[in-house]
Amino acid sequence: MQHRVTASGATPAMAQWFAAKEQAGSALVFFRMGDFYELFFEDAEAAAEALGLALTHRGEHQGHPIPMCGVPHHSHESYLARLIRRGFRVAICEQMETPEEAKARKSATLRREVVRIITPGTATEEALLDAARPAWLLALVRGGAAWLDVSTGAFHTQDAPEIAALVARLAPAEILTEEGLELEGATPALVPKDAPGRLAEALGVASLEGFGQFSPAESAAAAMAVDYVRGVQNGALPRLAPPMPEGARGVLLLDAATRRSLDILDGPRDASLLAAVDRTLTGAGARELAARLAAPLDDRAAIRARHDAVATLLEDGTRRAGLRAALKGAPDMARALGRLSVERFAPRDLGAIRDGLDRAGRLARLLDGVPPGLLDAAQAPLSALPALAQELARAVATELPARLEEGGTVAPGYDGELDALRRLRDDARGAIAAMQMQLAQAWGVASLKIRHHQQLGYLAEMPAAAGEKLLRAAPPGANGELAPIHRQSMASAHRFTCAALAALDRRLSEAGDQARAREKLVVAHLRRMILAEGDAIAAAAREMAALDVLAASAELASGGGWCRPEIAERPDFAIEAGRHPVVEAALRRARGPAFVPNDCDLSPGQRLCLLTGPNMAGKSTFLRQNALMVILAQAGLYVPARAARIGLVDRLFSRVGAADDLAGGRSTFMVEMTETAAILNQAGPRSLVVLDEVGRGTATWDGLAIATAVLEALHDRIRARTLFATHFHELTRLADGLPEMRLAAMQVREWRGQVVFQHSVAEGAAEKSWGVHVAKLAGVPPTVLKRAAEVLAGLEARAAVGTDPLTAAMPLFAGAPPPPQPPRASPLLEALLALDPDALSPREAHDALYSLKALAAAKEGL
């Protein structure tokens, strides 16, 4: 049950919670209480349901029990990750002092503050991130967009973006919108005044001019994103790369419907293009490959440069193997640098920079002899930091603890003062043994033992008799720092201390604290050294990711059957023996039949292909595989074909398969028409259009009329390269009037009454749709199949003698006579069609012959 609560009458600790909740707003408050983060009231109820935690109560507030649940501090990140994935925002309210510090200021309540608010788009912890995907925070204003990845510092802007296409491309973890710009799931945010100045100040520059030209809308979106990040980070700002305006960057445009249709990055059971072609070895490389597939290039020179690099590594298998060996297991320097920039790092992040720079140096040496820039990676960024690499190799321990507080981050031998404090801390046993021997000799008590007590510290303990003797008279030599001081008497023993033992006690208890404090100073020094070279480290990380993608692409191509696509100037599209990479990979995993390759030529003169044939014959696969050829080729990868020549595509449209938007009040046909309208309004001569079954979501005549008009528009006005699949066989007649349209069909043959889908494409139109045969394969009852065959025969007979709709006077179907009723088959024909000769026994076959004879005699009146 939810309660409306206020701070009135709250205990001091709960008053702190109310203050934190007011600051956190809608975020759940993780309120530090000793070894736990605790949640209260509605926060507790929401978290308990989301995490499957037991909901309990702690105390009362205004006469009601306070709902409470909690998670351990040492393992809270796993709970955070689950909440962030569910879309929650979480405020971390930490204890800002120790109990001793609170006692010194005469308070029983520790001071607590909200140190940050974790949101899906501002998380930096490794446990909260997907290693293979960026965590984009997208900010949208009217006419502009900016997106940044706090975990790596990547920062981009765009003027006048197509919002739906941009959202589909980025799949952002979190979206911000300015007030009045509504988008489902987005968080409203404020656009700061003087956005360019605010952004420049955040980046530590006087002006943005050195980074490029930014429109006012781009600056506003970027400043809004930066202010939001600074707000949830309690004023801190992570290291960000200079914003990169994308206005001049050539990118193949893909709308949201096309991305859904092609399953580029995500698909059912990981059946995506990314999963099929990913051979990368690092998280950063996987993110870079995903980025290239999500935004293929629209610049011929840049595409060819990537193909050149893949070709170089494909030809040099030894160098490629060396690069991949050096990349395997390489740490994610970009994300480690991001955590170091906000002082929210672990020892392994220092180790990641150390090991990453070591790998970068190895990669640089492997690239000796390769012309700079050929592999997307100039050797300079990879080997530019030898001094820092050597310093970190000396400074950072080989075996690293999980947390800085545990100690052991700094390697022995790096800092003399730290080593001395560690020796004092670690040599406590030897120091105590030496002190015990010294006191035993000075006090004349051989049975003296030094023991540690929780409340009293280190004390010298001896039997009662020896203690009584020591109390009566101090032995000679037991003076000065060794003079005994009685602390405690017991029935069987006495306990003493002395100035020397008390000093040793203090040194031992302080040594651990001093060692931790000294190590903290050394780590802070190392962090400053790393951040001072942050730009160079980030550049090296980018180059390593690019190398990973190129080497992985060459590794993929080395398996055979993949070719370098020729990127042509003119609008060609000629694929020889092309294959669908995802379907082929699935068949290989299942050890199924080999994929059947097919040619596709949409070059000038035949740039529109009308494809007919049954659904199960592979039409959708053929359509999608040719669309994926464009994405792979323009992303800079090789393609699964014997040969490919592709004229640069500026926009790719794919509408394959049915979908609805019932929540938005749109039927399947409305979604189909909306997506078709987007194609007709945006496609041009350099586009590739892939369309499946336009018009099938409405009445036959309506759908046929729409499909005809769409085909004519694509051929005559838009002039895009087009693959158009259809079940409207009447459309094949349009080939006579559309000179650049050619006909193709999925091949099917019939054998012993069964349909065999050959999955191959040939010139010409399909003989029929084979729909009844497909229905039989699907298990439709025989009586229904029989009736369907009868109706089909009647319709085909009518079509043979009737008026063809496409040749009739316009409007197409005005005044069309109602279709005649199909004739009923004779009893003799019905009985004959119902027989299955292969299933009859000899006796049943004999009886069937007599039955057929009787029906024939009745028909002839004999």
Contact 139, 146 (CB under 8 A): yes
Inside any domain, residue 174 = yes
pLDDT at 382 over 90: no
Phi first, then psi: give them for residue 369, nearest 5 degrees: 95, -15
Contacts of 676 (CB under 8 A, 6+ apart): 655, 691, 694, 710
Q: Give per-residue pLDDT as tens, 323-348.
A: 999 999 999 999 999 999 988 899 99
Pair (703, 595) in one structural domain: yes
- Flag whether pLDDT at 465 surpasses 60: yes
pLDDT tens track for 677-711: 989 999 999 999 999 988 877 777 888 889 999 99
Task: Looking at the structure, tell me whether residues 321 and 182 fall in a common domain.
Answer: no
Say if residue 629 is in the same domain as residue 544.
no
Q: What is the mean pLDDT of residues 762-788?
A: 76
- The two beta strands, 137-141 and 643-647, are unpaired
What is the average pLDDT score of the chain? 88
396 phi-psi bin (left φ>0, alpha ψ -120 to 50, beta other): beta
Rounded-to-integer distance, Cα 845 and Cα 686, Å:
64
Residue 261: inside a domain: no
Model pLDDT, residue 823: 54
Give yes or no for residue 379 having a pLDDT over 80: no
User: pLDDT: is 12 or 48 the higher one?
Assistant: 48
Q: Kindly state whether residues 539 and 576 are assigned to the same domain.
A: no
Query: Could you tell me if 230 and 219 lie in one domain?
Result: yes
Backbone angles phi, psi at 101, to 5 degrees: -65, -40
Q: Which range, 603-617, 620-634, 762-776, has the best average confidence (pLDDT)?
A: 620-634
- Within 10 Å of residue 217's Cβ, how many Cβ atoms? 23
Bigger pLDDT: 663 vs 95? 95
User: What is each CA distance from 432 to 56, 418, 444, 451, 759, in whole angstroms?
Assistant: 47, 21, 17, 9, 84
Does some domain include residue 459? no
* 89 & 155 share domain: no
C-alpha angle 660/663/669, rounded to 5°?
25
Q: Which amino acid is at 826?
A: S
- Same domain? For 75 and 153 the reply is no
pLDDT value for 701: 81
Q: Are residues 612 and 697 in the same domain?
A: yes
608 and 743 in a single domain? The answer is: yes
3-state secondary structure of 108: coil
Q: Is 414 contained in some domain?
A: no
- What integer pLDDT is reported at residue 852 of this predicted model? 75
| Closest to 613 (Cα-Cα) out of 443, 754, 745 | 745
- CA geometry: angle 168, 171, 175, nearest 5 deg: 105
Is 758 found in the same domain as 626? yes
Which CATH number does the domain housing residue 149 bear?
3.30.420.110
DSSP string, 648-705: PPSEEEEE-S---BTTTTB-HHHHHHHHHHHHHHH--TT-EEEEE-TTTTS-HHHHHH
Q: Percent of the chain scored above 70 by pLDDT? A: 90
User: What would the mean pLDDT of 538-561 be, rounded to a whole number?
Assistant: 95
Please give the tally of structural domains in the chain.
6
pLDDT at 151: 95
Tell me how many degrees the CA angle 594-598-601 measures, rounded to the nearest 5.
165
Among residues 192, 227, 249, the one where a domain terminates is: 249
DSSP 713: I
Distance of alpha carbon 463 from alpha carbon 470, whole angstroms: 11
Residue 107 domain-assigned? yes
Which residues sit opposite 410 in a β-bridge? 396
* pLDDT value at residue 1: 38
| Residue 725 host element (H or E) | strand 721-725
Amino acid, single-letter form, for residue 799: A
**Residue 456 resides in a domain:** no
pLDDT value at residue 582: 95
CA torsion 595→596→597→598, rounded to 10°? -140
> Is 784 inside any structural domain?
yes
Is the domain of 830 the same as that of 862?
A: yes
CATH of the domain at 348: 1.10.1420.10
CB 630 within 8 A of CB 665: no
**Judging by beta carbons within 10 Å of its beta carbon (0-12, 13-18, 19+), is residue 120 exposed, middle or buried?**
buried
Q: Is the dihedral of CA 644, 645, 650, 654 positive or negative?
A: negative
What is the pLDDT averaged over residues 233-244? 91
Average pLDDT on 82-108 reads 90
653 located within any domain: yes
Q: 795 pLDDT band (50/70/90 cuts)?
A: low
Q: How far is CA 599 from the centre of its chain?
A: 34
Q: What is the pLDDT of residue 94?
A: 95
CATH number at residue 591: 3.40.50.300
Residue whose C-alpha is closest to residue 529's, from 661, 376, 354, 379: 354
Distance CA 541, CA 524 (A): 22
Say yes or no: 164 and 176 in one domain.
yes
Domain of 701 in residue numbering reads as: 566-661+675-768
Out of 118, 148, 174, a domain closes at: 118
In tens, the pLDDT along 563-612 reads 999 999 899 999 999 999 999 999 999 898 999 999 999 999 999 999 99
Query: What per-residue confidence (pLDDT) applies to 664?
Result: 57
In 732-789, at which residue ranges do the beta strands (DSSP E only) sit? 741-751, 754-763
Which residues contact residue 724 at a Cβ distance below 8 angstroms, ignoring those fewer than 6 apart?
A: 608, 609, 610, 611, 689, 691, 694, 710, 711, 714
SS3 423: helix
Measuring CA to CA, how many Å separate 332 from each of 238, 252, 275?
17, 28, 20
- pLDDT, tens digit, 9 for 90 and up, residues 819-835: 445 555 567 677 776 77
> Model confidence over 38-94: pLDDT tens digits?
999 999 999 999 999 999 998 888 888 999 999 999 889 999 999 999 989 999 999
- Give me 578's structure tokens: 């092309």
